[in-house]
Amino acid sequence: MTTTDLDRLGEEIAELSAHLDAAIAHLLTLIREFDAQAGWNTGFRSCAHWLSWRVGLDLGAARERVRVARALGSLPGLAQALARGELSYAKVRALTRVASAETEERLLAVGKASTAEHVERIVRGWRRVDRQAEVRETARRHAARAVHVYQDEDGMVVIRGRLTPEAGAALMRALEAARETLYQKRHAQDVSAETSAADGAKDTSADDSPEAPTMPQQQADALALVAETALHHGIDPGAPGERYQVVVHVDAPVLADADAPGQSVLEDGAHVSAETSQRLACDATRVLMCHDAQGRVTEVGARTRTIPPALRRALQHRDRGCRFPGCGVRVAEGHHLRHWARGGPTTLSNLALLCRRHHRAVHEEGYRVERLRDDELRFRRPDTQLLPEVPAPASTHADPILFLRDRNEAAGFRVDDRVAIPQWCGERLDVVWAIDVLRPAAEPLIQPGRPYARRAVGERHEPRRAARPLKLTHYRSARPLDMARRGPTS
């Protein structure tokens, strides 16, 4: 091929790459809409899992597509630049890791002015600075934690404090649960009092009944209940195995038929559905108990595993993880295709591994699974539609390149071989100075009278002469586009 032919080939490659980036922008828009409408919620764990199953993307690449699609929903400038082919998907993917509505304009200028390598280096440095700031903020909040308890002049106890976010969340959840418990007690007492008044004479003291406590009073009562409960039951929450063990009492007819009468309750008396009991009984420890007509326990059998350890090892070796289409999570539960309470055998041919999410989908959300004669599993959605292990390939246009060009022209995008060329003039990139200019409220990475601290942003250390003091306010006023064309000045 002649030099002219090679140049023409290179131009065609550049133009087609820009068309592909514009097509990716349209694809990300569709993914964002599909994700927002939960179109993937047909048994799949997330939009990324659906993409991995339907499109054939690696799960990590699918998660990245969904992340970028969501980010571009609030970054219209970057989305438009990608749609016009002005920025490559590689640049946009990197910029969306740090971009926000406040920084989008200057980062868009960086993307247009810089190469993909420059963008990656700037983003890595930016994220390193953000992580350092986050670590400092976390340490500051942890050091500021405190609770002050003292007695006031009238004998009341005053509590004032600051908790870390996770400790504060636990406290608020505990107070919320305690308030609900106290409310239920008050409500039961009110109903009892109203019933007594209706049966007897009119209660003349009803008008003197105290008003409902205010929210601050409810919080105080809830805190007292939490303290009393902790002292009564002990502070130690127990061993992990005991702490997270869930005990379900369920009648045998309910396990066999969800419509049958009978109990299905947790150990504390809370009701759970029969389908939930069936799911938990699929792969759990089982204890058979016999009761008399008055409900007294007359016999307790030995504790046994629903799926014996040896059979579980064979099941794990065969299935290697969840068998639901597009899942494959390694941590999974044994599922009886025909429940053992309905006479199904606990054998390898009647078992399949399902993760907790899809085990629940099969038992409680209407999904169905059956084993075929060739030992393959067939899943159906609640609307009886088949969920194939491998979906049918999507239809494509006879000339996809012509289709891309026509679609971009119809959208008014002028895409050619020069639209994505960066405005970089070949200068050496100074990442430290670039982040000082670009990042809002950035702490100085270059200290007065000291060499550039390149290792602070993940750069290879290069000995340089000491920099003169920088006026960050001066550089903050510089146009972001000038970043790649200027070196640090004093």
Does 230 map to a domain? no
pTM, two decimal places: 0.59
Does 417 map to a domain? no
Distance CA 211, CA 230 (A): 29
User: What is the helix (H) or strand (E) element at residue 377, kind and residue range?
Assistant: strand 377-380
Helix (H), strand (E) counts: the chain: 17, 13
Are the CB atoms for 425 and 485 separated by under 8 Å? yes
Q: Residue 206: its pLDDT value, please?
A: 45
Residue 87 burial (10 A CB sphere; 0-12, 13-18, 19+): buried
Does 433 map to a domain? no
Distance CA 393, CA 407 (A): 22
Q: Classify residue 387 as left (phi > 0), alpha (psi -120 to 50) or beta.
A: beta
Does 95 map to a domain? no
Q: Residue 201: its pLDDT value, please?
A: 52
Distance CA 344, CA 349 (A): 10
Are the CB atoms for 455 and 463 separated by under 8 Å? no
Does 352 map to a domain? yes
Does 369 map to a domain? yes
Domain span holding position 320 = 248-384
Q: Residue 71: its pLDDT value, please?
A: 95
Q: Residue 31: its pLDDT value, please?
A: 96
Q: Residue 482: its pLDDT value, please?
A: 44
Backbone angles phi, psi at 378, to 5 degrees: -125, 125
Q: Summarize pLDDT for 341-366 with one digit per residue, the tens.
A: 888 898 999 999 999 889 988 988 88
Query: What are the residues whose beta carbons fall under 8 Å from the beta carbon of 384, sequence distance 6 or more?
Result: 368
Does 232 map to a domain? no
Distance CA 15, CA 422 (A): 14
Q: Residue 136: its pLDDT value, please?
A: 78
> What tokens were used for 72?
């571009």
Low-confidence ranges of the chain (pLDDT < 50): 202, 204-207, 238-244, 442-490
Does 310 map to a domain? yes
In the chain, how many domains are there? 1
